[in-house]
Structure 1
Amino acid sequence: MIEKTNHWTKTEMHIYILLLCANADSNATDEEINLIKSKCNKDTFDKIYKEFLGDNEEAGLDKIEDNVHFHQYSHLELAKLKKEMRQIFLSDNKLTMMEENLDQILDNIIY
């Protein structure tokens, strides 16, 4: 049986990626979560956060890969997303090895 891919909107995918970044060091802070919440409405955040909590990292990366190929992103959109990912990674003023690894993995998927 073929599993149907659930396509997110660009905003939903954006939020999912930022949640993954916030949790890269297994410690999503209130500051990181509030920053992500500021990027969308409450319903969108709640929907994607619930889905995020039910996924492991591998499933999340697979979903991101499926959705990146579904949407057409401009260079400007990708640059903005990359900037926001870095903002989440550096919100605690340090970049851990786990965050660096996730950043490289996401670069390979997104670009």
Structure 2
Amino acid sequence: MKARVAAAAAIAALALTLPACSSMNQQWHHNCVVDSKERLIKDGTSSTKRVYTSCGSFVVNDSIAGGFNSQDRFNQLKEGRTYDLQVGDFRNGFMGSLPNIIDVNEVTK
């Protein structure tokens, strides 16, 4: 019985903290020109989608804040075009992490 209570408490704590991870430090970057983008394959089983812009470097990953359509969002971004990008999370050079693009709006001239 105690094991079930402990497991339920752990699941509840996880459910409360996961949304905060993907929604930390959300901000908009405006008029970002996409310089290039690439998909890095790791160990043949997982990949990272990176986007390099005039506003900085970002990743495009599935997240609670951005939804689970990261491949579509990555394909939406075209090199040479300008976008307003909503990003979440922090850049951490030591950990090799980049902010995650969670929303994209193309800027029309």
TM-score bracket for the superposition, by shorter chain length: under 0.3
* Between structures 1 and 2, the one with greater strand share: 2
Q: TM-score, normalised by structure 2?
A: 0.23
* Between structures 1 and 2, the one with greater helix share: 1
